[in-house]
Amino acid sequence: MIRVAFDATACLGVRTGVGRFASEVLERLAAHPELEVTAFAVSWRGRDALVDAVPPGVRVVTRPMAARPLRVAWTRADFPCIESWTGPVDLVHGPNYVVPPSRHAARLVTVHDLTPLRFPELANRDTRTYPALIARAVRAGAWVQTPTEFVRSEVIEHFAVAPERVVAVPYGVTPPTPESDRSDAAAGRRLVGSDRYVLALGTVEPRKDLTALIAAFDVVAASDNELRLVIAGQDGWGADAVAAARRDARHADQVVRLGHVDEAARAALLRGATVLAYPSRYEGFGLPPLEAMDVGVPVVCTDAGSLPEVLGDAAHFVDADLLRRDREAGVASLAEALRRVTTDVAWREELVARGRTRAAGYTWAKTASAIAELYRRIVG
């Protein structure tokens, strides 16, 4: 039996990509008979909600953990240790860049990407603390799990960690729930008010480059007054720039901002979309494109970071470097990609077929099994 302490903070509240990863993996780890899982939350106010946020079979500790003071402390010292909250454990897993220090337990930290190091201008105050926390954990012997070989190579390079202690474990596609099964393409189109729309899905933040997407859509909308651009996801930092870009667009009346949507609406929006647009400036994995492919929606995205590794030949790629070097040319390239995928039926069908095949290879069951095997390897 391996006693695992698992940071379930990301499972609280609105679940972004990291929250989806943590909750899907935790649910499946709880079913592994050789694991005894204890969940904790580095959150003062959210700790009482943890019991309802984790699956059956997971022990929960609710002793208060104040996030900001603890992160400051963990940047400077290996104290306080996680056993002060959980009691003795064999391994502690931090699935969101931060793994608490321990007295005797092995440590594993998940690094989803290196945005704060590669593009600090795209990071906020909290995420800019991650590199120091990762570096200290690695120096103290922590292992690292990444979602792709791309991020694995970056971690090895930037933190000078032994390659055998950095393991890539791809993420999965969330299977439909009974609630989302009842959501269909027509429901998504009713929600938008149009039969044809480009969907951008996820937290609104600078790294997603939604300002470029609005500019590119403005070009396409000039000759297609039925097409809509739908931006669905909660506001992150930098959302004001997206709001301003929308106000300034010539075809602002064709841009729909939905904000956070629940799981049923999210599934309906995905199924009803004409195309998913994902013009990320940098990406460690990219769940929304895979989710779109899984339900037969073609994808237009940049070739930034790990996206080519994850999506293979199943997406219509746009040059991310061009968007950085020459904004006007990059926006024109993105507009042309959107125009082709929304009008070229044969190309859409080809992308849909490739996408379904690609998405079928990514499951959370595989992810959780690989992480459980990594636990055994680390403890062993």
Quick one: tokens of 218? 């403005």
Q: What angle do CA 249, 253, 259 make, to 5 degrees?
A: 90
Same domain membership, residue 250 and residue 190: yes
Predicted confidence band of residue 178 (pLDDT cuts 50, 70, 90): low
Q: Which two tokens stand for residue 23?
A: 């909750």
pLDDT band at 183 (very low <50, low <70, confident <90, very high): low
* 332 and 263 both lie in a single domain: yes
43 and 98 together in one domain: yes
Residue for token pair 């992160």: 71
Chain segment 277-300, per-residue pLDDT in tens: 999 999 999 999 999 999 999 999
Which class for 176: exposed (0-12), middle (13-18), buried (19 or more C-beta within 10 A)? middle
17 and 120 in a single domain? The answer is yes
Q: Do 160 and 191 belong to one domain?
A: no
Q: Which domain holds residue 367?
A: 2-172+363-379
Tens of pLDDT, residues 129-166: 999 999 999 999 999 999 999 999 999 999 999 999 99
Query: What integer pLDDT is reported at residue 182 of this predicted model?
Result: 53
Find, among 227, 231, 230, 232, the residue nearest to 195 by Cα: 227
Beta strands in the chain (DSSP E): 2-7, 35-40, 59-60, 91-94, 106-110, 143-146, 166-168, 197-201, 228-232, 255-259, 275-278, 299-302, 316-318
DSSP 8-class letter at 177 = P
The tens digit of pLDDT for each residue in 9-57 reads: 999 987 778 999 999 999 999 999 999 999 999 988 777 889 999 999 9
Query: Same domain for 335 and 368?
Result: no
Mean pLDDT of 253-263: 93
Q: Is 219 exposed, middle or buried (0-12, 13-18, 19+ CB in 10 A)?
A: middle
Number of domain units in the chain: 2
User: What CATH number is associated with residue 53?
Assistant: 3.40.50.2000
If asked whether residues 37 and 136 sit together in one domain, one would say yes
236 phi/psi in degrees, rounded to 5: -105, -160
Residues 69 and 166 in one domain: yes
CA distances from 375 to 161, 167, 265, 320, 379 (A): 18, 11, 36, 36, 6
Q: What is the pLDDT of residues 301-352, one digit of tens each?
A: 999 999 999 999 999 999 999 999 999 999 999 999 999 999 999 999 999 9
Query: Is 292 in the same domain as 166?
Result: no
Residue 255 sits in the same domain as residue 333: yes
What's the predicted TM-score (pTM) here?
A: 0.93
Claim to verify: residue 185 and residue 155 sit in the same structural domain: no
Rounded distance, CA 67 to CA 69, Å? 6
- Predicted confidence at residue 45, as pLDDT, reads 78
Q: First CA to last CA across the chain, in angstroms?
A: 12
Task: Give the CA distances from residue 296 to residues 293, 355, 357, 379, in Å, rounded to whole numbers and listed in that order.
Answer: 5, 7, 10, 41
Which residue from 77, 97, 92, 70 is spatially nearest to 3, judged by alpha carbons? Answer: 92
Claim to verify: residue 183 and residue 140 sit in the same structural domain:
no
Q: Measured over all CA atoms, what is the biggest interatomic distance in the chain, rounded to whole angstroms?
A: 64
